[in-house]
Amino acid sequence: MKKIIILLLATILFTACEYDNYDAPSVTFSGQLLYNDKPFLCDGNDARDIFLFFQEGFGKVDWGTKMHTLADGSYQQLLHSGEYKLTLGNVKYPFEINEFPAGTVGYDSIYYDLKKDVRQDFYITPYYEISDLDAKLEGINIVAKFKVKKVSGTSKPAPRIVKARIYLGINHFVNSKSPVVAEQEVDANFSGDGELTVSIDAIKYRTGYKENYRDNAFYRVALELENIPDYYLFSETKEITGIPEEFDDITNQYLKNYKQPFNVVSYFPDSRRGILSDWLTSNAAVQYTMYDGWSDRLFMCAENWGNPTALQGAVYQTFTLPAGKYLFIATRGFNWWDIENEGGKDRAFFVVAKGKGIEWKSPSIIAQSDCGDPASRVSMPLNITLEQETEVSMGYVVNFPGGETNALSFTAFTIYAI
C-alpha cells in the first residue's frame, strides 16, 4: 500500500510540474503618449490605466492584461510571445488617441504578433490644455492658479469643464490616488479659455499624511469634464515651499462646547433632539433641531423634514477677537435630500458676522460658505481679517423652504490665528 501511495504522489507531482513550467514573459511592449511631439502627462494612478492587451483562442476567456501608464505618459509591459490585440478600456476619456477612434461601442483594436520587443508611441489630442500653473500660500490656504485653453482639431466637441481639483503629496508621485485633495465646481458659463483657481487649506496637507512635518508639498491640478467622471486631464507636478509646521489653534480661548461629544443640557420630551450648552438660537424652531442625539449621529444640525412650514433662523456663539487674521473651519457631518441634491444651494450657510447674533444674508456678515456646495461636505473654511478688536458671532443660519426635506450637520468648529 505504501508503494502505491508513493507512486501516485510522484505521478501527481510530475504532472503538476508539466503544467506549471511555462516560459517566463520575454517580450516587452513599450512606448510614450505624445501631444505636439512632447510627452503627454497622465494621472499615473494604476487604477486608471488606459490600455488593455487581449489574446484570443486557447479555449479561454481573456479579460485583458492592463498596461500601466505612468504620470509622464510612458508605458511598458512584459508579455509572453504571441498574438495580441491592443485596445482601450471601454470608458470615456478627456482626450482622443488618433490610433484608437471610438466606434459605436468601444474602441478599435490594433493587432500585434509579438515575437520580439516592440516600441510603439501613440498620439493624443486632449480636449483642453493646462498651462502656467503656480501656487502660493495665502493665509492658511494653498491657492493654485492656472490657464486653460480649449484644443482645436478633436473629432468630437469638447465637453465642458465641470470641476477643478488640486492634489497634494509629499513627493513627486502625485495623482488621483493621493489622499489630500480639494475640488471646486467650475462655473457653467466658463468658455474653456481663461484662468481657473482651486485651493486647499494647508491643515489638510499637514494632517493628511502621518508625521508630516515638511515645509514643502508637491502638487498637481486636474480637470474633470462633463460625463467623464473617471479620467481627468492633469498638469505637471510642481512644488510649493514655506508651509508652516504648526498652526495656532485658539478655539478653546473663544468657543465652548464646540466639538463631539457635545454637552447636552436637556432633551425635548419623547425626542432624540436636545438643547446644547453655550450655543444661542434665534428662535424655538431652530433650537428644536440644533442637536440630533441618535447614536450614529450625535451632531449639531438643522432639519426641516417635510414640514409644511419654513425653517428659518440661526445657531451661534458670540465672542470678541483682537485685530488679526483668522481661519474658521466647520467640520461637516452630512447633507440630506433637497440640500444635498441639485438646487441645494442657498438654503444654509456657515457664517461669521459682526456683532451679537446672525441673520439671514445680513450686511453684518463678514464671511459665509454655502452648506449646499459640494466642496463644503467635508469642511468649510472661512478666512477673515479684523482691523481692530471686534465682537463677532460664529455659527450657521438656515432658510429651509416649507414642504422640503432638508438636513445638514456639523461635528466640530475650529478657529486658527494666522
Contact 347, 336 (CB under 8 A): no
Please tell me the distance from the alpha carbon of residue 397 to that of residue 361, in angstroms, as a whole number. 9
Q: Mean pLDDT, 10 residues at a time, over the chain (418 residues)?
A: 45 47 84 97 94 79 85 96 93 94 80 96 97 90 95 94 96 94 92 94 84 92 96 98 87 97 93 94 94 88 83 97 92 76 79 97 95 76 93 96 86 91
CA 86 to chain CA centroid, Å, is: 31
In this prediction, residue 200 carries a pLDDT of 92
Q: Measuring CA to CA, how many Å separate 207 from each of 56, 111, 244?
A: 49, 48, 12
In this prediction, residue 22 carries a pLDDT of 60
Contact 302, 238 (CB under 8 A): no
Please, which residues have CB within 8 angstroms of residue 62's CB and are 6 or more apart in sequence?
A: 54, 55, 56
Locate 304 and state its grid cell.
426641516
Closest CA to 380 of 350, 412, 360: 350
Closest CA to 285 of 411, 397, 373: 397
In this prediction, residue 11 carries a pLDDT of 47
Q: What is the DSSP string of 217-286?
A: EEEEEEEEETTEEEEEEE---EEEE---S--EE-HHHH-SS-BSSPPEEEE-TTSSBEEETT-EESSHHH
- Count how many Cα atoms sit within 13 Å of the Cα of residue 215 in the half-sphere of its side chain: 4
Other beta carbons within 10 Å of 407: 21
Give φ, ψ of 311 to 5 degrees.
-115, 115
Closest CA to 397 of 282, 306, 298: 282
Q: What is the DSSP string of 161-182?
A: EEEEEEEEESSS--STT-SEEE
The strand pairing partners of 415, in sequence order, are: 328
In this prediction, residue 339 carries a pLDDT of 67
Other beta carbons within 10 Å of 154: 13
In this prediction, residue 295 carries a pLDDT of 80
Please, which residues have CB within 8 angstroms of residue 318's CB and are 6 or more apart in sequence?
A: 280, 355, 356, 357, 391, 392, 393
This prediction's pTM:
0.63
In this prediction, residue 50 carries a pLDDT of 95
Q: Which domains does the chain have, with CATH numbers?
A: 7-125 (2.60.40.1120), 127-241 (2.60.40.2060), 251-417 (2.60.120)
